[in-house]
Amino acid sequence: MGHSPSRHNACGGGGGDGESPPSPLPSRFERFRRRLRLRHRDRAGRPGGDAHASESGTGRAIAVDEFAGIARIRIVKADMQFKDKFIACLSLGERTYRTEKSDNTSTPVWNSEKKVVVETNGPHIARISVFETNRFSKNTLVGYCEVDLFELLTKDLDEHSEVLSLLDPSSSATIVGSISISCYIEDPVETEQSFARRVLAIVDYNEDGELSLSEFSDLMKAFGNKLAVAKIEELFRQADKNGDGIVDMDELAALLANQQEKEPLISNCPVCGEILGKHDKINDMIHMTLCFDEGTGNQIMTGGFLTDKQASYGWMFKLSEWAHFSSYDVGLHSGSTASHILVFDRRTKRLVEEVIDGKIVLSMRALYQSKVGLTLIDTGVKDLLKNLSEKQGKKMSSPESAKDIPKFLELFKDQINLDEVKDPLESFKTFNEFFVRQLKPGARPIACYEQDTIATCAADSRLMTFSSVDESTRLWIKGRKFSIEGLLGKDVHSDALCNGSLVIFRLAPQDYHRFHVPVSGTLEKFVEIPGCLYTVNPIAVNSKYCNVFTENKRVVSIISTSEFGKVAFVAIGATMVGSIEFLKEEGDYVHKGDEFGYFAFGGSTVICVFEKDAIEFDADLLANSARSLETLVSVGMRLGVSTRNRDLQPQELEKCSLE
């Protein structure tokens, strides 16, 4: 009995039973606001639930001229080739959402919807992935498709429905099923008016489609605007055209929208309580639209995921994440110590996860992220890694190694596109022949091919760009005593290069392993520098106990150009890399995009060093690198522009696409 008043007060003083001290009942607008907030917190607090602060996927204010609308994407159903329990994931930019699990069927039905913000220069290629869910820890990707939301914007339809082919993850030419989706794009005015109608519908307590003065009064109080509260009757009369004391929903919604143009009425989000007006009206409207849909349970896809792989993981992964055995994040911490490495796909503008075996992650962390590991490295592990790599290189060049190709393709089935490969799979007699495979002509178009003032990406890789060595060591390279002098060696380095900028192309085992020339010029020299064979994985690069780039085996070449001065091209070997082969010789003139050489089996890295103030890297690459986030790029994509020869006018540069 002694605890009865405490429970009563904790519940907000709701209805007395005659035995407890009386408390005033909450008003209707307080109950309305509490109901929305409780629903919002409930969804945000669940595993996979996301608070609105990250729901828009922008993390910043959206400029008025950048806001294209809010897309309502509904995943309806699919037609698969076999029976199972399936989930579907929707990925756009740095946000992923997932449906509930379907019944055990070959024709799963989800009818799941999500609203996402579309920006004119933001991510617009939405990926829909379908997973079978018959595994405890990691579900299997069985098909995917991509939807260009900008194409839907140009279609004059109230709602666009399509049946799309689901593509095999390992071959975009193979269809494994189909999926039905619908998409509808709201313009800003429509979004604002529809939001007003949804809010007013909740205040319409008797659900008769009309609002009384008292109901409208509750709404103004929930919006937290004292000035609006003082003008309630005046605002209500503006909408009550016939003076009968009641207005219909459309009249009141129009009044609210018009008044927002003149003098904002909403000071606080009625769902999460966040103070509005920090940016502008359009951002407030976006916030409330998405927040309202989540808080009222109208959006039935679960959010809060960064990639479709994270969204597909089962309960064992969630348990390990809860117990801090693994983490899922963007940036340096994720790249250096976590089990999951996330990179930003430049083409689709979304986050993707790099596949890496969990046992390998644990061994690398033990070796490269601890003092014990450093001791092992100093007492013989260097020689062990070198001998292991040499033996593995010989093994991968033997005829018996060809049987490993199918297993390798299965491991990376959604990251290797066999349709791009020049030669048929059966033509590869060893694993290394497949590993150094060539691509079909035109598979990697070279950006601005005739314009030598534009530098391009040298490899299919994960890229980091830095305007100075200080930036690189502050944000990414944590190895001891890293310097350009140490990287290039005493026979190559110059003052111009030592104070210059650099770009790091990290190749993973699943990548196309031929590297190309990033700039046009003459090859002055090649210098081979012997060394170790540490892994080039971020776990080692971000370790303070070793210096991967200046201690590993590498070949330095100098390209003399008229647009960028001298450019150092450094091909770095790594664990399991059998050899570094070049296809050009000293004195050759090379054009950007030309095939330069290749790495045999294993991960590896190319670093290009530019003279000080010789290149202006593309803004998106610098922005990602400033977040310690690698950018997934392909050979030939635009890297940056020469700052020495400004022959191109700004409008000409804009015509030169990133790819």
Choice among 45-49, 135-139, 565-569 with the minimum mean pLDDT: 45-49
For 349, the token pair is: 């503008």
pLDDT > 70 in the chain, percent: 67
Calpha distance 93→629 (Å, rounded): 14
To the nearest whole number, what is the mean pLDDT of the chain?
77
- Residue of 460, 467, 634, 642 marked active site: 460
516 is known as an active-site residue: yes
Q: Which residues pair with 503 in a beta bridge?
A: 465, 608
- Phi/psi of residue 282, nearest 5 degrees: -65, -40
When pLDDT is cut at 50, 70 and 90, the band that residue 120 belongs to is confident
pTM of the entire predicted model = 0.76
Residue 639 scores a pLDDT above 90:
yes
Tell me the helix, strand and coil percentages in the chain, rounded to 5.
Answer: 35, 25, 40
Strands 140-148 and 125-132, sheet pairing: antiparallel
91 is known as an active-site residue: no
Calpha distance 171→648 (Å, rounded): 39
Residue 53 scores a pLDDT above 50:
no
- Model confidence over 365-375: pLDDT tens digits? 555 565 655 56
* Cβ 634 vs Cβ 457: under 8 Å: yes
Instruction: Find the mean pLDDT for residues 307-312.
Output: 86
Calpha distance 205→212 (Å, rounded): 10
Strands 341-345 and 631-633, sheet pairing: parallel
Q: Which residues pair with 552 in a beta bridge?
A: 532
Q: Is 250 helix (H, G, I), strand (E, B) or coil?
A: helix
For 521, the token pair is: 């010029």
When pLDDT is cut at 50, 70 and 90, the band that residue 213 belongs to is confident
* Cβ 578 vs Cβ 513: under 8 Å: no
CB atoms < 10 A from the CB of 276, how many? 20
* Cβ 66 vs Cβ 123: under 8 Å: no
- Residue of 604, 625, 634, 642 marked active site: 604
- Which is nearest to 469 in space by CA: 506, 508, 507, 495? 495
pLDDT > 90 in the chain, percent: 34
42 is known as an active-site residue: no
Counting Cα atoms < 13 Å in the Cβ hemisphere of 134 gives 9
Residue 14 scores a pLDDT above 60:
no
Domains and CATH numbers, the chain: 69-186 (2.60.40.150), 189-294 (1.10.238.10), 356-649 (no CATH)
- Residue of 218, 516, 628, 634 marked active site: 516
